[in-house]
Amino acid sequence: KQLTDFLAENGLQPIDAEGQQFDPNLHEAIAHEPNENVPAEHVVRQMRRGYKLKDRLLRPSTVVVSSGPQK
């Protein structure tokens, strides 16, 4: 807890990707899958959390992206 608080105080920000529109600057897509509930090009689930330090990207979030409803 102390380490997380220290890092947050010094500018470390976790990237919360789930439900957000896919952004190649913040997210790394590892798969596309059809999904009835999530619009196309939005993140279905986050496999690995990404982090930013102030305005610099340390690690992109690894995500699965929706391809929209199955046809």
Q: Identify which of 63, 55, 52, 68 has the alpha carbon closest to the alpha carbon of residue 20.
A: 63
pLDDT at 65: 97
C-alpha–C-alpha distance, residues 67 and 12, integer Å:
31
pLDDT, residue 71, reads: 74
Two structure tokens written together for 25: 């600057």
- Structure tokens given for 64: 């699965």
The three-state secondary structure class of 3 is helix
Structure tokens at 3: 């380490």
| Average pLDDT by stretches of 10, the chain with 71 residues | 94 94 96 93 96 95 93 74
Describe the strand order of the beta sheet including 12-15 as a list of residue ranges. Answer: 12-15, 50-53, 56-59
What's the whole-model pTM score?
0.82
